[in-house]
Chain A
């Protein structure tokens, strides 16, 4: 389980202060697929970063009893000047995985071929998504933190993600921040709506989507 207890996050810059999250409480149980809904700037990415431990909450606590991926998003997690293979090797090392099996999976899943020998900074966002996803699937986590990225790929990538994440790894938990109502209706069984820093949890995804559309 991952539990957020009274999370507050305040960003300050000089005399400016912005409270992004206010007393956020919610749980993610094993196997739950939680949608994070909210308008741009509502704090979805911030919440995912806090859960992933990339940034620390100003106050409150996050208890993690299951392993979770790093936040899979458009930025972060990679070193742009290193090649795809180097990044894969680095990730295999820090997560204590056998590089050969990680490499084999990445080659097969990403279908990037010779591009893997190029620096990651030359990749398009779709290619990055493929690489990030392939690596997090090769490592295997109990909970995947996904910040929009799943929906940037082409048909073929989406089909593969579907197969790997929603069929082969059906029992895993997931937190998905997205604006795509179709995807959320299809994949999620719980939703958290963020509005003005306050998070409300809904067991019924359709109800949450209605509220989100009215924001």
Chain B
């Protein structure tokens, strides 16, 4: 479904602030696979997600999604194939517009928008029906500005919006990180539910080891702009949070193993 080939991105090239955020990423995501990306701060995990979403264009490499080469597609064009939920609950919705108006936008994601009246009675009923399935009691508040809702409710609605039209790929960028623990758990459960029910292909960046172990079919670990671990299949099945913590520890220790260490340690391995 998603095919990433030798993707690189360097921010501020040639300056003291140069950041080699992606250093040649190769990744294949099968249809219907729910993968989580974990990694240290600055490992490039969010950059990778943004590269797929089209927030910026990569320096080199190619992106292929559902048979389309989307490397040069601008962000809004990729939205025809991609649904997104952001870390910031305010990022995915327009606060001053009503719940219904926000959702009606998602009913035309990536499609031409004409001069037809947006919120017909039929659309409104359909929206109410699907919001009812969230069991948050929001179906009676369709006219309220979405800004009056809690972060968890907004993230749940953003998730609903991102998947209203079945996306070829769902991108979740630490979408529970800004929520209180209870809402985060609710949104995580909802995510799993929707992804499983709709058999979605999804890529989720998370910093929660617990989430990484509970939700996805595949766990990818990034460090310094590279993929350093890829747990899938049998290996994925036996992964526990401890294993992920060890993997983090391993890459951290590897960074501490510099040439001075090698100099003092290697004679002791003679």
- Whether both chains belong to one complex is answered with no
Chain A contacts to B: CB under 8 angstroms:
none
Chain B contacts to A: CB under 8 angstroms:
none
